[in-house]
């Protein structure tokens, strides 16, 4: 029993020595709380693990999600016009727009929960979040599916990039990696698979002299999804 207690005391002293140089909120909370707000460099916050290194990557992904939501909304409006009159395509792109917007809100909540700040006045870019600038979104049905598929692949790549950074960076963040895996990776893979199927099916249906009936029937199919 005495030997066990001795080992426990040694382990405790080693642990305390290893953390002797660490900063703790309790060491500065009185000074920090004496002012009306915590300073930007205060350690009395919700930040821990690798959030400092990964926060710019998540900000870039938030920007990408919000941009895609806007692009999908423009596509939905385009196909809801009296000239196009494609309620099935309008429903598809309105749903994707709403989903990307909801994902943007969810990511903002996640970052702020971890003590981060989302600043839309600062543009954060990463290799996975760069998208090609397009002059117009007034495209036909098949081109719109190809555009949506490209968008979803970019979002899937962005989610994978954030997950990889959170999992394998020098100061990794398991909690954030788990959040991205649970809420984005599988969902993005499913959407890529669905849109790739739509694009291939419609491309085959349009291999006729007059594809207008094929497009109409495909739009009817999308309305029922």
Residue 133 annotated as binding? no
220 among the known binding-site residues? Answer: no
How many CA atoms lie less than 13 Å away from 141 in the CB half-sphere? 30
Q: Is the dihedral of CA 200, 195, 120, 53 positive or negative?
A: negative
Q: Give the span between the Cα atoms of 127 and 114, in whole angstroms.
A: 24
Handedness of CA 67, 73, 78, 79 (dihedral sign): positive
Tokens of 57: 């990557």
Q: Which residues contact 217 (CB under 8 A, 6 or more apart)?
A: 205
> Binding site: what residues are annotated?
152, 188
> Binding site for Fe cation: what residues are annotated?
152, 188
């Amino acid at each position: 029993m005495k030997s066990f207690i001795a080992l426990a005391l040694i382990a405790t002293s080693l642990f305390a020595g290893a953390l002797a140089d660490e900063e703790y909120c309790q060491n500065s909370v009185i000074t920090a709380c004496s002012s009306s707000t915590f300073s930007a460099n205060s350690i009395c916050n919700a930040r821990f693990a690798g959030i400092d290194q990964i926060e710019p990557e998540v900000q870039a992904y938030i920007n990408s999600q919000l941009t895609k939501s806007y692009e999908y909304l423009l596509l939905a409006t385009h196909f809801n016009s009296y000239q196009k009159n494609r309620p099935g395509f309008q429903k598809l792109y309105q749903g994707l727009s709403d989903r990307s917007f909801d994902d943007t809100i969810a990511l903002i909540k996640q970052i702020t929960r971890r003590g981060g700040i989302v600043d839309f006045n600062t543009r954060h870019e990463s290799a996975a979040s760069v998208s090609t600038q397009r002059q117009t979104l007034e495209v036909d049905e098949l081109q719109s599916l190809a555009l949506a598929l490209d968008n979803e692949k970019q979002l899937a790549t962005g989610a994978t990039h954030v997950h990889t950074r959170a999992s394998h960076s020098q100061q990794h963040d398991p909690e954030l990696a788990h959040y991205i895996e649970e809420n984005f990776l599988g969902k993005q893979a499913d959407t890529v698979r669905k849109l790739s199927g739509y694009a291939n099916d419609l491309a085959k249906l349009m291999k006729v002299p007059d594809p207008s009936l094929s497009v109409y029937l495909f739009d009817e199919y999308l309305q029922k999804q």
